[in-house]
Structure 1
Amino acid sequence: MPRARADLVMVGGKPPRQHIWEAIRAVNVSPKELTTYAVARKSNQDDEAVRAYFRDMEKAGIVSKVRNIGRFDAEWSLLKDEGVEAPRVTKGGKVSTYAGGAENIWRALRILGEFSAAEAAVAASVNGVSISEFGAHVYLSGLAKAGYVTRRGGTAGFKTRFCLVPSRYTGPKHPIYQRDFDQVYDPNLDQVVWRKADQAVTK
């Protein structure tokens, strides 16, 4: 079965590891079937990308290898179901809390209506999750590009206040600002709602 190119997957909204993670959770209904091969087929992602993600998650304690199956396949056990969004794990097994911070910002924004990046960082850093003022500013700036929030007090600097546009609250799942691709994917709508590349074309 052909594999989807990573750049095409990103244009569709979900990064490759999100597809892999969703496949892991789906296949895990029958734990003995949770293998590298099965997840690669289910997610339609490259085998090596799936193996690499499993290795990183193993270092982070999210999965555990049960046994090797031949040279390239392996059976796995899911130790921690981290929820809908794919865990952001480095090669060293370090889990980023940025996604959790963004989720908390989105939740707090719905309740409070507006805040600065500094206030957002404080509101979002709870229950073992933390996000820096810079990280909060980056995320809120991404939401501003997509029209979820408006800026008050200037368009630059950390004193800017971000105000939720009520009609743009699409649901409980936080819109994901994919900074590397400069686009915003909304899991509530399951679509990319803004991308910089499109803006360049229309100008």
Structure 2
Amino acid sequence: MSTNRQPAHLEYVGGKSPRQRIWEKIRELKEFGLPRLVRALPGTIHKDTTRTYVTSLAKAGFITLDAETKLYTLTRDNGVEAPKVRKDGTMVNAGSGQENMWRTLRSAPNPLGYVDLAYLASTEQTVVAPAAARDYLANLEKAGYLACHAGKYRLLPEHNTGPRPPMVQRIKQVYDPNLGAVVWTDAKDGDDE
């Protein structure tokens, strides 16, 4: 199944995805028509992308459309982070594990092992597997974000870059949307070819 989406390090211009920029503008406007929203966004965001996301948000109940005026109104403000919704309005949980782990690492007063991190980052909606926590910690350590002693990890204060979680990408690199930059790439991965 093709999503027509680029990897995060290419899609997140200035550290923000198109959906994030659309959501921020919706929160700013509160009430809008689709043409006005499209005009208010940077020219790099295609109108079809905007239309699709607005339709998805409406199906999910974040915004409502007045059929008479053709104006959308923000009805459920979920905060600064853009809601992750599919075209049919259902919520997407992909990436929630990394978000939860990053939030846990940022707030943990003591170093954590991967089993502790998996337990503390799990919620009713998102269960973090210990193997996923181990992988996330290992990649963040390689990227220089964590110090490890006796299998316990702690976030280095200078690498507490912001609320968005550094993303471990399939192409074996870590992208930090807070910085808008790739912060680590597995150099040996390219040598194997």
Indicate whether the TM-score tops 0.5: yes
1:17, distance to aligned residue in structure 2 (A): 1.1
Structure 1 residues 137 and 39 mapped into 2: Cα distance closer, same or farther (>3 Å)? Answer: farther
For structure 1, list consecutive stretches of 5 or more residues without a partner in the other structure: 1-5, 154-160
Structure 2: gaps (5+ residues): 1-5
- Distance in 1 between residues matched to 2:91 and 2:169, nearest whole Å: 18
The residue type equivalent to 2:65 in the other structure is K
Task: Report the more deviating stretch, 44-53 or 173-182.
Answer: 173-182
Question: CA 1:108–1:16 in 2, change beyond 3 Å: closer, same or farther?
Answer: same
Q: Is 1:179 matched with 2:165?
A: no
Question: Cα distance, 1:50 vs. partner?
Answer: 0.6
Structure 1 residue 67 displacement after superposition:
2.9
Normalised TM-score (structure 2):
0.70
Looking at structure 2, the residues matched to 140 and 148 of structure 1 have their Cα atoms a distance apart, in angstroms, of: 9
What is the one-letter code of the residue matched to 1:194? V
Q: How does 1:1-40 map to 2 (within 5 A)?
A: 9-10=11-12, 12-28=14-30, 31=31, 34-40=32-38
Instruction: Normalising by structure 1, report the TM-score.
Output: 0.67
Change (3 A) 1:51 1:11: closer
Q: Which amino acid aligns with 2:169?
A: R
Q: Which residue of 2 aligns with 1:96?
A: 92
Aligned partner of residue 114 in structure 1, secondary structure: coil
State the Cα RMSD in Å.
Answer: 3.5
Higher helix residue share: 1
**2:73 matched to 1:77?**
yes
CA offsets, 1:130-157, max 9 Å, x none?
243155455445533432125667xxxx
Aligned-partner SS, 1:82: coil
Q: Identical aligned pairs, as a percentage? A: 28
- Using the alignment, how far apart are the partners of 1:101 and 1:183 within structure 2? 15
- What residue in structure 2 maps to residue 166 of structure 1? 156
Distance in 1 between residues matched to 2:182 and 2:75, nearest whole Å: 34
